[in-house]
Structure 1
Amino acid sequence: MINQTGKFIVIEGLEGAGKSSAIALVNDLIEQHTGQAPVCTREPGGTPLAEKIRDLVKIADASDPLSDEAECLLIYAARTQLISNVIKPALAKGQWVLGDRHNLSSLAYQGGGRGLMPLVKAVSDACLAGFTPDLTLYLDIDPKLGLTRAKSRGQLDRIEQQAIDFFERARQTYLQLAQQDDSIIVIDASQSLELVHQAIRSQLLHRLPLLFANK
């Protein structure tokens, strides 16, 4: 087992991309290579206050519809709480952190999907001050296939009920940003679960030694 400084790994993807099973796999791989289970987080959420904000973002209220701008600001409020109270303290202790979504989601969903990229970038710069994950695995899937999978799990939340073109814009933003950042790995999530996990395992086992070397 290797003990090193803490690292922050994030799993990203549209609805139905298979993030939950990917997170379980990556959790096991990190534990095998560090000797400790990572601190697992989700966004929006991850702290008591951030979870309350998550409810505001996820639950639709026809009497008081959430504006796109308010959605964006609420998500960053939750993210700031999570970074300040969970992620940075864990990293400072040398723990690894495994995140279910992070800032890339806002760039894709609120920036690309909602068309609020100037606002997203401004708030991101102000709130995060350059804080970024060490590695992101983006599970890429066609929105129609992803939403079909998501519907099979049960009732869709407010964001999952958006029109298909919203998710098409979000996906294109994900892919564009991944092309510009070599810390973002694209995984074809339309494959069978076995092949997706093989790809994740291969990519992560290749990258882990580099993360360990980059203290």
Structure 2
Amino acid sequence: MAGGQLNVLSTLDQAKTQWYHFMAIVIAGMGFFTDAYDLFCISLVTKLLGRIYYTDDSKDTPGALPPNVSAAVTGVALCGTLAGQLFFGWLGDKLGRKSVYGFTLILMVVCSVASGLSFGSSAKGVVSTLCFFRFWLGFGIGGDYPLSATIMSEYANKRTRGAFIAAVFAMQGFGILFGAIVALAVSAGFRHAYPAPSYSDNHAASLVPQADYVWRIILMSTI
């Protein structure tokens, strides 16, 4: 049994670069792309959450999330990521990396949509729901992150392994950049569709009801 596995690994190491290698780069790279998007777009969303849910029209400055709330919203996914790495790393060795990798992707998609649909009758309710789904999103990311690199390293041959893994990791930067582009595009689109005066000109009229959709679209755009 062990000899057969070694023969398979030796064959993969000596195999020529073929189409399935590039397909593996795309599949694993999209995992890193969505991981980076989901983890880093929240820093932009927190600004919108503070403006929408924590604005007091009696004050001269727009609202912002309290420091403890901002830390919770930003960091809860990272806590889930740590737990997910430990759990899915173990599960991938038990059940096989491909099947577990597919499950982590499904979990990420479901939790991304659920994060954008966060609900509550108050600001605390919305933030609490968002934190709940962001934790499980991070849990899925924690499994996706190491499995993507491992799958890519197993598929690549010895000569191109370093370049292929570097290409997969490079997708993180594109994910961060895409998150910023999506946030700017969605914000600009809503500003054009629903024009409003600045906060300094009119506190109450500066925040249109449709603004609540902006951060939700940003969170769900990863799918």
**TM-score, normalised to structure 2's length?**
0.30
TM-score by length of structure 1 reads 0.31
Larger-gyration structure (1/2): 2
Flag the structure with higher helix content: 2
| Bigger fraction of residues in strand | 1
